[in-house]
Amino acid sequence: MHHFALRDGALHAEDVNIETLAALVGTPFYCYSTATLRRHIRVFREAFAELAPLIAYSVKANSNLSVLKIMREEGAGADVVSGGELARALEAGIDPKKIVFSGVGKTRIEMAAALDAGIHQFNVESEPELDALNEVALSRGARAPVAFRINPDVSAGGHEKISTGKAEDKFGVAWTRAPAFYRKAAGLAGIEIKGVDVHIGSQISDLEPFERAFLRVADLVRALRADGHAIDRLDLGGGLGVPYGGPDQSGGDPPHPDDYAKLIRRIAGPLGVQLIFEPGRMIVGNAGILVSRVLYVKRGEARDFLILDAGMNDLIRPALYDAYHAVEPVRPRPGALEAYDVVGPVCETGDRFARQRDLPPMVEGDLVAFKTAGAYGAVQASQYNSRPLVPEVLVDGARYAIVRPRPSFDAMLADERNPIWENAAQTP
Ligand code: LLP
């Protein structure tokens, strides 16, 4: 459920007319709905109400400070994967005791920052990382609260590039070798074993892989307890898919959070652990759209092109994962549908959002909205082709706020400089 709908012929975000917003902000821009963000986090929380889990919103999906602040207001914590994300979560006022730190390549500097902040948990992904964390903790007179991320060897995820739970993926420690790692960790003075962690992929559209992975992990929790470890927490990661529509919505609509919750209650309920979740996409995915204007309608030899002012640098998911995003006119015109290739202005053939997409008649200057663009949209944007970073706008009822402005060309160039060789330092 989201709060983007046609009203009086034009797309609105809550009570804000997207045409008006586009005139005020300029295109392209991302637009997020506060009501939708709040609704999703509440639906997720209510699905697990009696288990009272820690919902550590996965910052990577959309890290705008205004979004993080809404998560904080809703009582969520944060799943971070870098020192930068940690800094954002803290800046947004998220309680460090609700922050978990994931990722295969944490640096010692990032570990130290997270220890100093007093985070809830490190999700450790390898033996050398465990050794490094132990060293850093000892050097600061601290003990790092740790869960190992288990690789359950279960294939899942909407695309090969976003599947993480197979043995050949770089993530986690093999479930078969986990008992040995825990035994080792138990002997390290800078490490405090807290639990087990698993995350098998993203945009997962059926429950079966979750079930296989979680059953495996529940067995492991019992085995580790039998080995004498105090396993009090179970972090089940993120990964629940959202409906993007389109023909490649494989397996139909993704499961409802209530069914996902039922599965987890059955498997993890009896373990008596604190549950942790790291949802990203399902919280922010359809709480955001990307709004763009049609620059030209180009009638080609083989096909017609809708050339937009948004490019792959603003929304890279179609180019990177062949992802489907619904494209809808902000004010649909009456008339027969026509097939267009929807493309951006970037000088790459891959700068194509959709092939042969059926749309109502479109003319130059029309606005379109890419739906379900709130997750992994703005966060993956770049300035490729020296296109200033795409702005972000948050709507709340009839109000709007520009939560990341479009940089001017001057601002875009401000951090770059020509060397003054006469004054330049020599390497020693
Ligand atoms: N926890 C960990 C350890 C993760 O690696 C991820 C996502 C999440 C949680 C959140 O997963 P979610 O609930 O959002 O599925 N850029 C790609 C998605 C990459 C996902 C990376 N990890 C995309 O645009 O589809």
pLDDT of 170 reads 84
Cα of 160 vs centre of ligand 1, distance in Å, is 13
Would residue 347 show up in a list of annotated catalytic residues for this protein?
A: yes
Cα of 300 vs centre of ligand 1, distance in Å, is 38
pLDDT of 252 reads 63
Cα of 61 vs centre of ligand 1, distance in Å, is 7
Ligand 1 pocket list (CB less than 6 A): 58, 60-61, 79, 102, 162, 199, 202-203, 237-240, 278-282, 317, 321, 375-376
Smallest CA separation from ligand 1 atom 23, residue = 376
Q: Which atom of ligand 1 is nearest to the CA of 164?
A: 5
Cα of 369 vs centre of ligand 1, distance in Å, is 23
- Provide the 3-class DSSP secondary structure of residue 403: strand
What does CATH list as the number for 4-31+286-413?
2.40.37.10
Half-sphere exposure of 2 (CA within 13 A, CB side): 25
Alpha-carbon distance of 168 to 146, in angstroms, equals 24
Smallest CA separation from ligand 1 atom 16, residue = 376
Task: Give residue for tokens 């945009």.
Answer: 203
Smallest CA separation from ligand 1 atom 7, residue = 202
Return the closest-CA partner of residue 405 out of 104, 14, 24: 24
pLDDT of 250 reads 47
DSSP letters, 203-242, are: SB-SHHHHHHHHHHHHHHHHHHHHTT----EEE----B--
Q: Which atom of ligand 1 is nearest to the CA of 61?
A: 14
Cα of 426 vs centre of ligand 1, distance in Å, is 43
Mutate to test the pocket of ligand 1, among 102, 202, 325 (most ligand atoms within 8 A of CB): 202
Say if pTM beats, i.e. exceeds, 0.75.
yes
| Catalytically annotated residue among 189, 347, 363, 420 | 347
Domain boundaries, the chain: 4-31+286-413, 103-277
**CATH superfamily membership of 103-277:** Alanine racemase (3.20.20.10)
Q: Which atom of ligand 1 is nearest to the CA of 317?
A: 24
| Contact between residue 318 and residue 246 where contact means Cβ atoms under 8 Å apart | no
Per-position pLDDT tens, the chain of length 428 = 899 999 999 999 999 999 999 999 999 999 999 999 999 999 999 999 999 999 999 999 999 999 999 999 999 999 999 999 999 999 999 999 999 999 999 999 999 999 999 999 999 999 999 999 999 999 999 999 999 999 998 977 666 776 766 777 788 899 899 999 999 999 999 999 999 999 999 999 999 999 999 999 999 999 999 999 999 999 999 999 999 987 655 446 889 989 999 999 999 999 999 999 999 999 999 999 999 999 999 998 889 999 999 999 999 999 999 999 999 999 999 999 999 999 999 999 999 999 999 999 999 999 999 999 999 999 999 999 999 999 999 999 999 999 999 999 999 999 999 999 999 989 98
Smallest CA separation from ligand 1 atom 24, residue = 376
- Provide the 3-class DSSP secondary structure of residue 260: helix
Asked if omega into 28 is within 30° of 0 (cis), the reply is: yes
pLDDT of 155 reads 77
